[in-house]
Amino acid sequence: NKKDAAFYAEYGLNYFKIGDYTKSIDIWNRIFELDAKNVGALNSIGTAFMMKNQVDDAIVLFKKAIELDPENQLAKNNLAWAIGEQQKMKK
C-alpha cells in the first residue's frame, strides 16, 4: 500500500501530540520525498523545532514556506512567533 503525504502528515502529528518532536520531524521529512515543496510539512517541522527550542532552524523553515507560498498566513504567523521567541532569547 502506497503511503501519501497526508498519511505522513497525520502519522507525524501523532508523535508531535505526545511530545516526541524528533520522531515527528523524521516522519514529516518523508513528505519531501513525495512533494519537495510541501508547505504544510515545512510549517509542521518548523513548529516541532520551536518545541525543541531550535528557533533558528524553525525560522529557516518558516521563511522557506513563505517563499513557496507568499500568501500562507500560518507560515507568516509562525515566523512572527519564532522571531519573537528569538528576540526573547537574546535578552
Mean pLDDT to the nearest integer, 5-33? 96
User: The pTM is what?
Assistant: 0.94
Whether 87 has a pLDDT exceeding 90, the answer reads yes
pLDDT value at residue 1: 56
> Is residue 59 within 8 Å of residue 82, measured between CB atoms?
yes
What whole-number percentage of the chain has pLDDT above 90? 92
Mean pLDDT to the nearest integer, 71-85? 98
pLDDT value at residue 91: 83
Is residue 61 packed enough to be buried (19+ CB in 10 Å), middle (13-18) or exposed (0-12)? Answer: buried
Mean pLDDT to the nearest integer, 44-61? 98
